Chains A and B, each alone.
Chain A
Amino acid sequence: MTWAKKLLRVNLSKGTCTSEPLNMEWAKKYLGQRGLATKYFVSEVDPKVDPLSADNKLIFATGPLTGTMASTGGRYSVITKGPLTGAIACSNSGGYWGAELKMAGWDMIIFEGKSAKPVYLNIQNDKAELLDAADLWGKTTWVTEETLKKKHQDPLMRVSSIGRAGETGALFACVVNDLHRAAGRSGVGTVMGSKNLKAITVRGTIGVSGIKDPKAFMAATKAAKKVLADNAVTGQGLPKFGTQVLMNVINEIGAMPTRNHKDIQFEGAKDISAEAMHAPRKTDGKPNLVNNQACFGCTIACGRISKIDETHYTVVNKPEYWGASGGLEYEAAWALGSANGVNDLEALTYANFICNEDAFDPISFGATVGAVMELYEMGVLTKEQLGIEAPFGSAKALTFFAEQVARGEGFGKEIGMGSKRLTAKYGHPNLSMSVKGQEFPAYDGRGIQGMGLAYATSNRGACHLRGYTVASEVLGIPVKTDPLVTEGKAGLVKAFQDATAAFDSSGTCIFTTFAWTLQDLSPQLAAACEGDWSVENLGVVGERIWNMERQFNNAAGFTEKDDTLPERLLKEPAKTGPAKGLVSGLDKMLPEYYQLRGWDTGGKPTAETQARLGL
């Protein structure tokens, strides 16, 4: 079996690192990564815990396919109670760090307590120790990685760390590994910062072995890779255009949230699209995009590597930003761009670099800036308060705010609280485009009705990666549904949510599901691991994980009243495009969703549902 069957427990208060056998009974019920780590989390942590207290825990977890030749098998997740939401948080990252942890012989790391002073965890195979990080505190993730590789004289080590945003308490700080891959949402990096934990360095030379049926595994992974290669999205669209392939598509169907969701189509979309990233710039004749990059084991390679125009105002006389680095994904391009009405591709790329460099979520950051710009235009916030004029469309305000959040300075401290707290403070809570405190990603629930329900019911607050019905409603995967209707969406959302929970627990990337279904995942898991990994059981595992997360949130104090959307989506009709005149039909979908889930009208899993799922 491809679990390492071992977890590392790090008590930051006591400074101890201890090895524990992995609970294999749980592994067979919850698979790994998201599912298994959440099982540990909910078993050990009081749902009412203050997310930024020493009593909260922070888990870094791989899946059974992490570190194997399964395509995209390099994923890890960070699980905790999120400070942005107060709900379960689970953020997934690629790059190379997760596979390195697995190859060092660990399935997961559980951090508990709080260190008295800044430390980092250094793992070399079975040896783990906490080391002083005083000289790293106040440094960016980029400097941190470079410094640690030099200090340990090990260019092959992998580093996962927080930047200054996580140290200074921005509530949407993330964890960044390999310079530009991020466990991005819900403030998992903020929790890491609250524990005085700066970084985790890993070097693994043990490798992943113990495959149940090696011959079948190699055959299954090869067949699954062919499915990815032969699919138009994973074989051509994503490698060439990245997730940015969606920018023009979503804009055309009228589901592109623009200027804090006041509009639903962005006139500047073409300027910040995948096509724009490929086009030679007027200034230097070079395109923004350098090339694409894969994460560990990934045969899709959707990652963008970009270079900023050296004459652009953001980087003049700043050669440290002239090199290639992680470029714009669709979500970042949307959040930094359309959400604020900004169409300056180079400014967005710079803001994205800053998000990576100091580790904060471009979605929540960009969407919060959208709310700030609306408040500025209403006259609620002024230039004096903000330190800059900030109308919609101002690239200068966007990049100024990015730098301020990165450093925890000026109004950046307030933006770092997220849109829910910020808009409430200034008397307009209805202008926060969020669910459970977490900002929307790049699809409007009026133009894609299923996504409205997916956001309202997502266990980690508004999120596109918990039930991506866009695949069906826009791209026709696995079957085309009408994005403008509510009929059938409750079942669609549930199916996507459950399957996604299974994928997120396996060690593979959710982007495979543009081409793969559980039919493709099942034979790979079955050949790698003992246990029942049939399609049917994987569906049950996913549903079990979903309900476990829901029960944690219910116990944390969330109710059916929190399964809602901002007034703007429920009452202000879309102004243009195919969805013109529509609001979200959440009220038509939610009761059916509860019923299909086997929940009571209060959104709680019934006794029967709990028994059926073995909860």
Chain B
Amino acid sequence: MQKSLHIDPAKCTGCLQCEMACSYENYGTFNTAKSRIKVFDFHHTGRKVPYTCTQCDEAWCMHACPVEAIKVDKSTGAKVVIDDVCVGCKVCTISCPFGTVNYVQDTGKVQKCDLCGGDPACADACPTGAITYVDADWTGLERMKQWAAKLDNAPKAG
């Protein structure tokens, strides 16, 4: 059973624990500049929104790569950059409609979310449940439940 990262912006406080966890997982440093998940602070509305790769089934990045450096991790469904193969041509960064594949100057490769092999560090670090890792078929479950709770068919007491 595959899982998906599920993001609920209403719960995000903008603490950036997810960004630090991501960079620590992948580079061994606390470095938000190297994070594959970014939190956007829309200051005038007060909204904070974490954003990262949604692991498209027909991934533009994967199809665009001329050297087949992006492969599917069959256990998680993640589209994973194979560093040894990537030539840093950046065509994937152009093809991704969401901007979630990006070039890293230090390594000369691109990077994107790989779901940490099935145990995403960002979700583990999030203190408010804004980022969770849930059943890929049921990302709408919590929202359905919230709406379901509003349907009150029980007879009114008294």
Contact of B43 among A99, A225, A295, A323 (CB under 8 A): A323
**Contact with A103, one of B31, B44, B45 (Cβ below 8 angstroms):** B31
Cβ of B23 under 8 Å from chain A:
yes
- Taking CB atoms and an 8 Å cut-off, the chain B residues in 9-57 that contact chain A are 13-17, 20-21, 23-24, 27-34, 43-48
Contact of B32 among A71, A103, A323 (CB under 8 A): A103
**Pick from B20, B28, B31: contact of A206, CB under 8 Å:** B31
Cβ contacts under 8 Å, B24 to chain A: 69
> Within 8 Å of chain B (Cβ to Cβ): is A332?
no
Which A191-223 residues have C-beta < 8 A from chain B?
203-209, 214
**How far does the Cβ of B21 sit from chain A's closest Cβ, in whole Å?**
7
Contact status B44-A205, CB under 8 Å: no
Contact B33 A103 (CB under 8 A): yes
State whether A293 touches B13 (Cβ < 8 A).
yes
| Complex Cα gap A246–B35 (Å) | 37
A537 at interface by CB-CB < 8 Å: no
Residue in contact with A207 in the complex, picked from B21, B23, B47, B125, CB distance below 8 Å: B23
**Complex contact A208–B29 (CB within 8 A):** yes
What total of chain B residues lie within 8 Å of the partner, measured CB to CB?
Answer: 26
What separation, in Å, do the CA atoms of A323 and B45 have in the docked complex? Answer: 6
- Contacts A323-B43, A324-B44; A208 near B31 (Cβ below 8 A): yes
Verify if B127 is at the interface (C-beta below 8 Å from A). yes
A69/B45 contact (C-beta < 8 A), A207-B27, A229-B127 known:
no
A404 within 8 A of B: no
Q: Which residues of B contact A207 (CB under 8 A)?
A: 23, 27, 29-31, 33-34
Residue tally, chain A, CB below 8 Å to B: 36
A 213-254 binary contact with B (CB < 8 Å = 1; else 0): 010000000000100010000000001000000000000000
A301 at the binding interface (Cβ < 8 Å): yes
A291 interface residue (CB < 8 Å to B): yes
Q: Which residues of A contact B125 (CB under 8 A)?
A: 69
Whether, in the assembled complex, A451 has its beta carbon less than 8 Å from a beta carbon of chain B, the answer is no
Within 8 Å CB of A205, what residues of B? 31, 33-34
A542 and B23 alpha carbons, distance in the complex (Å): 33
CA A96 to CA B16, docked complex, whole Å: 9
A209-B46 in contact given A296-B16, A297-B16 (Cβ < 8 Å): no
Question: How long is the Cα–Cα vector from A206 to B30 in the complex, in angstroms?
Answer: 9
**1/0 per residue A284-311: CB within 8 Å of B?**
0000001111111111010001010000
User: Is the C-beta of A393 less than 8 angstroms from some C-beta in chain B?
Assistant: no
A469 within 8 A of B: no
Residue of A nearest to B40 (CB): A155
Contacts of B127 in A (CB 8 A): 71, 225, 229, 299
A292 CB contacts on chain B under 8 angstroms: 13
CB distance from B80 to the nearest CB of A (A): 23
Set A203, A290, A298: member contacting B15, Cβ < 8 A: A298
A446 to B35, CA, bound (A): 51
Check if B30 sits within 8 Å of A103, measured CB to CB. Answer: yes
A206 contacts which chain B residues (CB < 8 A)?
A: 29, 31
Please indicate the chain A residues that have their CB under 8 angstroms from the CB of B20 in the complex.
Answer: 68-69, 297
Chain B hits for A208, CB < 8 A:
29-31
Closest A residue by C-beta to B41: A293
- Closest residue of B by beta carbon distance from A304: B46
Docked pose: A292 CA to B30 CA in angstroms: 24
Nearest CB of A to B20, in Å: 5
A483 to B24, CA, bound (A): 45
A301 to B12, CA, bound (A): 10
Which residues of chain B (70-95) have a CB below 8 Å from chain A?
A: none
Residues A209 and B15 in contact, CB atoms below 8 Å apart: no
- A residues in contact with B28, CB < 8 Å: 209, 214
User: Complex Cα distance A324/B30, Å?
Assistant: 30
In the complex, how many angstroms separate the beta carbon of A473 from the nearest chain B beta carbon? 30
Interface string of B125-157 (1 = CB under 8 A from A): 101100000000000000000000000000000
Residues of B within 8 A of A301 (CB): 13-15, 128
Q: Are B13 and A69 in contact (CB under 8 A)?
A: no
Residues of B within 8 A of A479 (CB): none
Knowing A305-B46, A323-B44, A325-B43 are in contact, say whether A68-B30 is a contact too (CB < 8 A). yes
The closest CB in chain B to the CB of A102 belongs to B30
Q: Which residues of A contact B33 (CB under 8 A)?
A: 103, 156, 203-205, 207
With a cutoff of 8 Å between Cβ atoms, the chain A residues found around residue B15 in the complex are 294-299, 301
A205 nearest CB neighbor, chain B only? B33
* Cα distance A174–B28 in the bound complex, in angstroms: 36
**A positions within 8 Å CB-CB of B:** 67-69, 71, 96, 99, 103, 156, 179, 203-209, 214, 225, 229, 239, 290-299, 301, 305, 307, 323-325
A69-B125, A103-B33, A325-B43 known; 12 new pairs, CB 8 Å cut-off, are A69-B17, A103-B32, A203-B33, A207-B30, A209-B29, A209-B31, A239-B13, A293-B14, A297-B16, A299-B17, A301-B15, A323-B43
- 7 A-B pairs within 8 Å (CB atoms) are namely A69-B21, A209-B30, A225-B127, A292-B13, A293-B46, A294-B15, A296-B16
List 3 tightest A-B contacts by C-beta distance, closest first: A207-B31, A323-B44, A207-B29
B interface list, Cβ under 8 A from A: 13-17, 20-21, 23-24, 27-34, 43-48, 125, 127-128
